[in-house]
Amino acid sequence: MCWFYARKLEPFMTKERLYVYDTTLRDGQQTQGVQFSLAEKQQIAATLDALGVDYIEGGWPGANPIDSAWFDSQPKLRATFTAFGMTKRAGHSAENDTALNAVVNANTAAVCLVGKTHDFHVETALGITLDENIENIRRSIEHLVSQGREALFDAEHFFDGYKANPDYARACIQAAFAAGARWIVLCDTNGGALPAEVGQIVQEVITAGLPGDHLGIHTHNDTENAVANTLAAIDAGARQIQGTLNGLGERCGNANLTSLLPILKLKEPYRSNYEIGVTDAALRDIKRASRVLDDILNRIPAPQAPFVGASAFVHKAGLHASAILKNPVTYEHIDPALVGNQRDIPMSNQAGQSNLRKRLKEANLIVEKDDPALGRILELVKEREAQGYSYDTAQASFEILARRELGLCPVFFEVKRYKVSVERRKNKYNRMVSLSEALVVVRIDGEKKMSVSESMDELGNDRGPVNALSKALAKDLGPYQAMIDDMNLTDYKVRITQGGTEAVTRVVIDCEDSKGRSWATVGVSANIVDASFEALLDAVNWKLIRDTAPPA
């Protein structure tokens, strides 16, 4: 069938429904170093709800005070709010099991219980007989169903268990299904399974009588295969997928929904065969959703994250940039806008004239294709990157360098000299404290101006010499002062790198202003203060260039 007809017929094909189950607030919270507050759980749940997942697993009621309070608050969500717990212990009835009671008493529409399905774990971790375990699974699920809840059974260690004793692993999930579980979720708990075996085992489970539209898949990323394993399970017939935002989760994480959702929406055969609750509009918000979690975790977003990472659509190499400018399809597997991301063509030592002209155009610098300045700028960029500069993350410094070479860089002020000192001394409480002071002398319109600044914050803490220097530089720039008053330094990164044969310090500074602009500059020197000052100067100059430019 030709492409045209395939597209035409698409609306008449019936798609199967795939259900998306998010466990960021439960398995995601099992990540080392992660502990969500109540407000953070609320914010993440609202983000997931807007994204369109079908189930939000909120945590384990009764396991800790925050999870209990979160369930007590009975959040209003479009998605099915789900409590997580474990099957009852041997020796207790389901009705009298304290841990199970706490989960049931959370009064959620759905409850997911984890239970053992690997004989080795039943005997080693639980210390009970294989039959007792099956009985615990059966009674626990029956109890949920008798309470009117949608019951899910997380079959822990299912793939390892199936490989060791398939009859027993199957008997466990069949007991849960027969007891009324809506979903049997096959878990690759240790994350060691590979896609081919996941596909085969899911297929065998379905052939043995458990319908695919009652099967879920929960994978861990210990071999970097969580997403691939999830897709293999869908291909074999599973119809619920579990995962987390940004792949958060125990050890190496869970299947990453910020990769899986775009795959299911945009890639064949999933796009044509399956429907999920995530709309096209929600998918365009997935990068933002990913950032919400990073912000909460105070993590720098992973630049190479598929679909949502800052580098996912960055074309650094000259050959790529040249072709991309002719047609983006040459080096992009999807349109970045579909996932709320954007294309970038940075300048660097891997760049050719195509990157360069694109960058210059973005800065409103129109240079003809045969202008010799292009070659000079390219040379200069490559020379300076060899000295330790890095322009692909500091595009404002690149623009200043190009403007200078093109004779289009206004000179707002001239720095005559600067000085920084750091002193350790006793304060009035007889405690040793630091004090950084900076002095900057500039000449503006023939007039010399000297500014001195300390780096003390409101609490009396020293913020360091670079802070003092930036305050002194931005203290009195005469006619330009008002233009830089809304400029904020948002990040400051220092790296020791190789500049030619010597180690040098590279400083990258990120700034933003009240007009919503953000820009980054770079400075390099053997001396950290000089490198910082160079980056600061570029940052101030870039801001003045923008604010003095005539309106477009």
Ligand X SMILES: CC(=O)SCCNC(=O)CCNC(=O)[C@H](O)C(C)(C)COP(=O)(O)OP(=O)(O)OC[C@H]1O[C@@H](n2cnc3c(N)ncnc32)[C@H](O)[C@@H]1OP(=O)(O)O
What residue ranges bind ligand X (CB under 6 A)?
A: 27, 30, 60, 63, 86-87, 89, 99, 114-116, 125-126, 156, 189, 250
Minimal CB distance residue for ligand X: 63
Q: Choosing among ligand CC(=O)C(=O)O, ligand X, none, which partner's interface includes residue 384 (Cβ < 5 to 8 Å by kind)?
A: none
Q: Choosing among ligand X, ligand CC(=O)C(=O)O, none, which partner's interface includes residue 218 (Cβ < 5 to 8 Å by kind)?
A: ligand CC(=O)C(=O)O
**Min CB(272)–ligand CC(=O)C(=O)O separation in Å:** 30
Q: Indicate the residue among 59 and 346 with the shorter CB distance to ligand X.
A: 59
Contact with ligand CC(=O)C(=O)O (CB under 6 A) among 22, 27, 160, 385: 27
Give the Cα-Cα-Cα angle 94, 100, 101 (nearest 5 degrees).
Answer: 90
117 binds ligand CC(=O)C(=O)O (CB under 6 A): no
22 binds ligand CC(=O)C(=O)O (CB under 6 A): no
String of DSSP letters for 185-218: EEEETTS---HHHHHHHHHHHHHTT--GGGEEEE
**Min CB(220)–ligand CC(=O)C(=O)O separation in Å:** 6
Tokens representing 115?
């239970």
3-state secondary structure (DSSP) of residue 305: coil
> Can you tell me the distance from the alpha carbon of 334 to that of 341, in angstroms, rounded to the nearest whole number?
10
> Can you tell me the distance from the alpha carbon of 287 to that of 172, in angstroms, rounded to the nearest whole number?
39
**Min CB(244)–ligand X separation in Å:** 12
Alpha carbon dihedral 339, 340, 343, 347, in 10-degree steps, equals -130
Q: Choosing among ligand X, ligand CC(=O)C(=O)O, none, which partner's interface includes residue 115 (Cβ < 5 to 8 Å by kind)?
A: ligand X
For 364, residues 6+ apart whose C-beta sits below 8 A from its C-beta are 549, 552
Amino acid at 376: R
In the stretch 140-179, what mask flags binding to ligand CC(=O)C(=O)O with x, by CB under 6 A?
Answer: --------------x-x-----------------------
The residue count of the chain comes to: 552
Neighbours of 275 (CB within 10 A): 14
In the stretch 184-223, what mask flags binding to ligand CC(=O)C(=O)O with x, by CB under 6 A?
Answer: ---x-x----------------------------x-x---
Neighbours of 245 (CB within 10 A): 29
For 163, residues 6+ apart whose C-beta sits below 8 A from its C-beta are 197, 201
For 32, residues 6+ apart whose C-beta sits below 8 A from its C-beta are none
**Min CB(529)–ligand X separation in Å:** 48
Q: Indicate the residue among 136 and 322 with the shorter CB distance to ligand X.
A: 136
114 binds ligand CC(=O)C(=O)O (CB under 6 A): yes
**Min CB(121)–ligand CC(=O)C(=O)O separation in Å:** 11
User: 247 in the Ramachandran plot: left (φ > 0), alpha (ψ -120 to 50) or beta?
Assistant: left
Tokens representing 470?
């930036």
Tokens representing 111?
């409850």
For binding to ligand CC(=O)C(=O)O (CB under 6 A), which residues are involved? 27, 114, 154, 156, 187, 189, 218, 220
